[in-house]
Amino acid sequence: MRRGSGKLKLFIGLAIVAFAVFKFCSSETINEFTGQKQYVDLTVEEEISMGLSAAPSMMQQHGGLLQNQQAQDQLDRVGMKLVQSSIAQNTDYNWDFHLLADDQTINAFALPGGQCFITAALYSQLENEDQLAGVMGHEIGHVIARHSAERIQQQGLANGVITGVSVAAEGGGQAAQAIAQMLTMKYGRDDELQSDDLGVKMMIDAGYDPYEMIGVMEILAAAGGPNRVPEFQSTHPDPANRVERIKESIEKYQ
């Protein structure tokens, strides 16, 4: 009975893994803005809906919106200039730019569908409008590259593998989890570098100085301090390493 039960668990576990892999592979598509193959089965409408649904929660986590109309107007103007002057104008995304009241966390991020955010802590560190364009160009890059949607799809594959291995072999799930986390980690670093590249192109197309994105990297490096987590253990590349890639992108697009 025990041997038969083990074989049944193995069969069920392999079936779960096979289904997860099949579902992932069947979502293959080519991103029209990056030209790269990716795995996404969400529609643009679904991405927009997800972003709009999550936006209020993200605002609440960061103290709501900053009550500074002049700063918000600048953010809106810069964000829409980047969109309307670049490849991003050919999307159906619902673009919104939010200045968060959080004055402690130096950060910017984007949700699926065009919801882009920057904290007051980062905004206050920026030296000029070109640097703001660099930050927003990077976040717009995440959206048009569909990084969030792709991460959702990848996480679905990882969850399927973890579940399948856990069913098939006791203790195997822990190993599968570790592997899945490492895959997701590397994927995140690639996303950041690709968004830097797209951000540089959008800055140039909109008439901003792309070299000011290097200044943004210096701000991020200073915020991390001397005890930054090593690059391999982080989903974000080290700012110093991003600078070299940004310079390469500037040379490529200018």
Q: How confident is the model at residue 204 (pLDDT cuts 50, 70, 90)?
A: very high
SS3 165: helix
For residue 181, what are its two tokens? 């986390």
Query: Alpha-carbon distance 88 to 137, whole Å?
Result: 10
Instruction: State yes or no: pLDDT of 223 exceeds 90.
Output: no
Domain range summary for the chain, segments of one domain joined by +: 7-253
Would the pLDDT of 184 be above 60? no
247: pLDDT strictly greater than 70: yes
Work out the mean pLDDT of the chain and round it to a whole number.
Answer: 79
Separation of alpha carbons 199 and 218, rounded Å = 16
What are the pLDDT digits (tens) for 140-170? Answer: 999 999 888 777 765 644 454 445 455 545 5
Nearest alpha carbon to residue 86 among 206, 195, 253, 191: 206
Place of tokens 């069947």: 26
| pLDDT tens for each residue of 58-106 | 999 999 999 999 999 999 999 999 999 998 988 999 999 999 999 999 9
Q: What is the pLDDT of residue 67?
A: 97
